[in-house]
Chains A and B, each alone.
Chain A
C-alpha cells in the first residue's frame, strides 16, 4: 500500500508557482526526477507509489512515457525559461527498468529537449537486478544513462525471500558487472539490514558480496538502509500479527556499525548517513541536490518537486494523474516554505552529510547544543572547532536526536 501524501494547500490548476519561487531557479543546481510507478510484484516491506497491474484505467505501461512528456511540457510552461540546464536526472520507482530502454530514452530525450542537459550531467536509473540484461544495459548507456542503482538488498537467500525479492542471491553483483561492462560510470548497490531472521553473519556476507563487486571495479557506491516497517505494508501486518518479530533498534545499530567498519576498511567512505562512495565522483549528485536545497521537478504520479522554496507533490494514482494532466497540473498539494521551515530542513538535511552543517546557520542555543553534542560524543570536535557540525559514528546513529537538539 503506498504511503499517504502530506497535507498542504491546493496547487493552482495551471500549476503556476509564485513569482518569488522563480527568481533564482537552480541556484543550487537543477534536477529532474522521473517516477515510474510499476513493479512486477509488490515487495512486502515497500510503501512506494507503485502498481503491479499491467493496465490501470487510462494508463498502461506503453503509454506512460507520453504522460511524462506531457508533464514536461507543463513544467516548461510553469518555469517559463527560468530553469538552467539540468545537472542531474534520476529515474526511480517502482521499477523504471520494467519499461523498455527505448521508452526511458524517450523520456530522457524529452528532458534534454525541454531544459537541456549539462555536459557532464548525471543520469541515474534505479533497477531491479532481475529486470536488466547486458543488452538492456547497453541500450540504456547508449541512451545517455550514466549511473545505475541496483536494488540488491541482500546476498542471502532467506533474507531475499523474506523481503519477497525475486532475484537470486548472486544476481545483483552480476548485474553490477554487466552495467560496468556496458560502460556505466557509476554503479550503486542498495542494501537493507535488520530484516527479521538476518544474522550478523548474513549481513557480513551481504557486505562482503558488495565489496567483492567494488573490488572488481563494478560497484563504486553502496546505500545501506535499516528495514523500515512502514504502516499499511504486508510486513507491518505480519509483525502486528506476531508472525515476525519487530526489527530491533539495537540490532540495526550493530548492523550499521558493521557496515561502516567493513565498507571503510575496503576504502569506501560515508558521505550521508546511509550512503558510502568509493570517491567523491562516485557520490550520487542527484541525492546531494535533494540534501543541499537544490531545485528539481518531479515527473510522474506521486512525484515530489521543489522549486525556490515551494514543495509540491502530484496525485498518486496513475489514472488520476493522467486525468488531471489532461486539463492542467497533476499537483495534489503544496507548501510554500516559511523561513523557519527552510531552516529546519536545512539543518535536518545537512546534518546528515559528511560535509556537515555550517554552525553559523544556528542560533546561540543551537550552537550551545552543538557543544553539548561534542561532549556527548555525537559531533566531531575538530569539525565543530572549525565551524561545522559533523556527526561522529555514534552521532550518525542518533542523528535525529542531534538535529532536534540543534533546532532547540
Chain B
C-alpha cells in the first residue's frame, strides 16, 4: 500500500467515511463481509458470515447489536479514477429499532451512507427511519438494492420506489448481492466517486469525536474516535473536553478489522485510542478528545444520551447473588450507555435493580448476557414505561416502578407517546388501522410510497406498542408490515394502577399501570394465572385485583384439604424421608407473601414477559 495511505499520514482527500444503514436483516453485515474480502483485509480462509458480528449473542441471533467500524484500502477499478488508491472507513450498523441510537452515533462519524434495501422486500419502516436520520446529519446517500440473487427479487420495482423516496432516477440505484458479491466492487468505486472526503482543518488543534467506548478486560477502555480536526500523535496527552480530565495515551491505531497500532491519527481518520482509564464513563460517547498541549477551544456537538424506554426489575433468584448481579450490571454498563439501573427492593422478590432499557430486545439481550456471561439466574418483572403523575397537592412524581405509584389524590397522569411509522402493502391498511385504533393510536397521516405500499403515521402510547404490538402487526399483515417509532413526548391519559393482592397483601411485583379500559382485563388475566400457579395452602387464599380499594377481579385458591401420604410401610420410610427432605429444600425456595407460600417458579411464570401485563386481544 502506498505510504501516503498509512494511518496518520493519509491525505484526507483520499479518505471516505461512510456507514451502511438499512432495515433489519436487509443484509448490511453480509455486504460488509464482501467488502472485507474484496479489499483484502480479511483472508478467504478467515472469512465467516457476518464477520463483524463478534458477540456470541449477535452470532446466535443473527443480528447486529453494536456498530463496527473498519478501515478498508481500496483501489478504484473502473472509470476516470481507475488505479487510484483510497482509504474507506466503513461502519456496519444495527437495524433493530431498539438500537437506532447506535445508528445515530455512527452517522455523526461519516460523510456518506449506503441505504441498503432488500430487493425482495422493498422499503420498510427502518429504511425510512434510518434514511431520515442520515438526511438530518447531511449525509450523502447511495441507494443500493441488495439480494438481487434471490429469485423473488424485484429490483426494477423497488428501484422505482427508492427513486421516488430519495429523488433521482431508478437507474442510479446500484444493485448488489452480498451473498455472491455481484456489484460490490462497483459499489466501492461509487463510494469513492460520490462521497465527499472529510473536510476538517488538518492544522487546527485536534478534535476527535468519541462515537463508541468499549470496555475490554485485557486492554481496559477502548475509545473509538473520528478525527474531525488536526491530528493526535502516539506521545500526546489527551484531554476530555467535557470534564477537562487528562489521560496518558497508551496506544492508538485503526481497526482493519483487527486493532492495528499506528503512530498517529490524522484529520478525517477513524481509529481507536487506549488510555489508562478503567471506566468508560471517563471516556464518554459524544465527548470530544483534544490534546493537552494543543487544546481546542470548542467541543464538537456530541450526542444526547439514549433515554430508556422501558423499565423492568431484575432480581436474582438466589438472593445471595445480589452483589454478583450488581457487579455484572456495572460491567455491562461499561459497554452500554443505554443501560441504566438503580437498586430497589421488592417485598415479593427481595433485593434487585430497577433497570431501564431501550426496548424489549435490549432487555432480553441484557438479561441473557447476565445469565450467560455472569452465570446468574434472574427473575424480571413485567416491563413498564415511565409515567409522570401530578397530584392535587401539586407535587410531581416520576414513576418507573408501578408499585411506587403515589398514593395521594391524582390530578393527572402522563404517559410517554411515540410517533410510529408503519409501512404496509395496500391490502392490509384496514388491519393496521384496526390494531392501532384498539391501542389508542391517533392517525397523523397516510402516504402512498408507491402504487401498493402505504406509509401510516400514528401517535401511539409507548406502553401500547412495546409488548406484543409488533407480533400482532406481523401476524395480521402476513409478515408484510414493518414498524418504526421514535419518542415524541407525553400525553395525559386515563391511567390507573392495578394492584394484585394475595390474601389481602399487595404483591408489589405484580402491580401495573394500565389504561382504565384495560384494567379489568389485566386484573382477570393475572388473578386467573396466579390461581393456577400458586399451590393450595392450608387456608383459603383470595387473589384480588384492585384499583385503590375497589376490587375489580377475584379468584380463590381453595384451602388444601389433604396433604398426607396414605401408605407408610417399612419399605416406604426411606422414600418418604427423601421426599420430605426434598420438600424442605423446596420450602426454602418459597417466598412468603404474608402467610402465603409462593414458589419462586410461580413468580417466574406469572412474570414471564411472553404474556406479561398484556392487554386483551379484542
Chain A residues proximal to chain B, CB less than 8 Å: 6, 8, 33, 92, 224-226, 228, 249-250, 252-253, 256, 272-274, 287, 290-291, 296, 298, 302-306, 311, 313, 335, 341, 344-345, 348-349, 352, 376, 378, 396-401, 403-404, 407
Q: 6 closest Cβ contacts across the A-B interface? A: A253-B561, A304-B571, A225-B566, A399-B564, A249-B562, A253-B562
The smallest C-beta distance from B557 to any residue of chain A, in angstroms, reads: 13
Q: Of A348, A352, A396, which is within 8 A of B577 by CB?
A: A348
Residues of B within 8 A of A33 (CB): 570
Q: Can you list, as one digit per residue, whether each of B570-584 has a CB less than 8 Å from chain A (1) or not (0)? A: 110111111011011
Interface of B: prevailing SS: loop
A376 and B538 contact, CB distance less than 8 A:
yes
The smallest C-beta distance from B49 to any residue of chain A, in angstroms, reads: 45
A273 and B571 contact, CB distance less than 8 A:
no
CA of A249 to CA of B562 in the docked complex: distance in angstroms?
6
CA of A272 to CA of B575 in the docked complex: distance in angstroms?
19
The smallest C-beta distance from A158 to any residue of chain B, in angstroms, reads: 22
Q: Of B560, B571, B583, which is within 8 A of A298 by CB?
A: B571
Q: Of B564, B567, B580, B584, which is within 8 A of A396 by CB?
A: B564
Can you name the residue of chain A whose Cβ is closest to the Cβ of B566?
Answer: A225
Residues of B within 8 A of A404 (CB): 580, 583-584, 587
A403 and B578 contact, CB distance less than 8 A:
no
Q: A249-B560, A304-B571, A401-B538 are in contact. List 19 more A-B contacts (CB 8 A).
A: A6-B575, A228-B565, A228-B567, A249-B562, A250-B558, A250-B561, A253-B562, A273-B564, A273-B566, A298-B571, A302-B571, A304-B573, A345-B577, A376-B538, A378-B538, A400-B565, A400-B583, A404-B584, A404-B587
**A311-B574, A376-B538 are contacts. A250–B562 as well, Cβ < 8 Å?**
yes
A226 and B575 contact, CB distance less than 8 A:
no
**A33-B570, A290-B569, A298-B571 are contacts. A398–B560 as well, Cβ < 8 Å?**
yes
B560 and A306 contact, CB distance less than 8 A:
no
B567 and A252 contact, CB distance less than 8 A:
no
Can you name the residue of chain A whose Cβ is closest to the Cβ of B561?
Answer: A253
| Interface membership of B451, Cβ < 8 A | no
| Count of A-B contacts judged by CB separation below 8 Å | 98
Q: Can you list, as one digit per residue, whether each of B11-52 has a CB less than 8 Å from chain A (1) or not (0)? A: 000000000000000000000000000000000000000000
| Interface membership of B298, Cβ < 8 A | no
| Interface membership of B568, Cβ < 8 A | yes
Residues of A within 8 A of B561 (CB): 249-250, 253, 397-398
B578 and A6 contact, CB distance less than 8 A:
yes
24 inter-chain pairs at a CB distance below 8 angstroms, sorted by A residue, are: A6-B575, A6-B578, A8-B574, A92-B569, A226-B562, A253-B562, A273-B564, A273-B566, A274-B566, A274-B567, A291-B568, A304-B570, A306-B570, A344-B577, A344-B580, A344-B581, A349-B573, A352-B564, A352-B568, A398-B561, A398-B564, A401-B538, A404-B584, A407-B584
B580 and A403 contact, CB distance less than 8 A:
yes
The smallest C-beta distance from A151 to any residue of chain B, in angstroms, reads: 13
A348 and B580 contact, CB distance less than 8 A:
yes
CA of A123 to CA of B564 in the docked complex: distance in angstroms?
28
Residues of B within 8 A of A274 (CB): 566-568
The smallest C-beta distance from B17 to any residue of chain A, in angstroms, reads: 65
The smallest C-beta distance from A213 to any residue of chain B, in angstroms, reads: 21
The smallest C-beta distance from A19 to any residue of chain B, in angstroms, reads: 22
Residues of B within 8 A of A341 (CB): 577
Residues of B within 8 A of A228 (CB): 565-567
CA of A398 to CA of B565 in the docked complex: distance in angstroms?
9
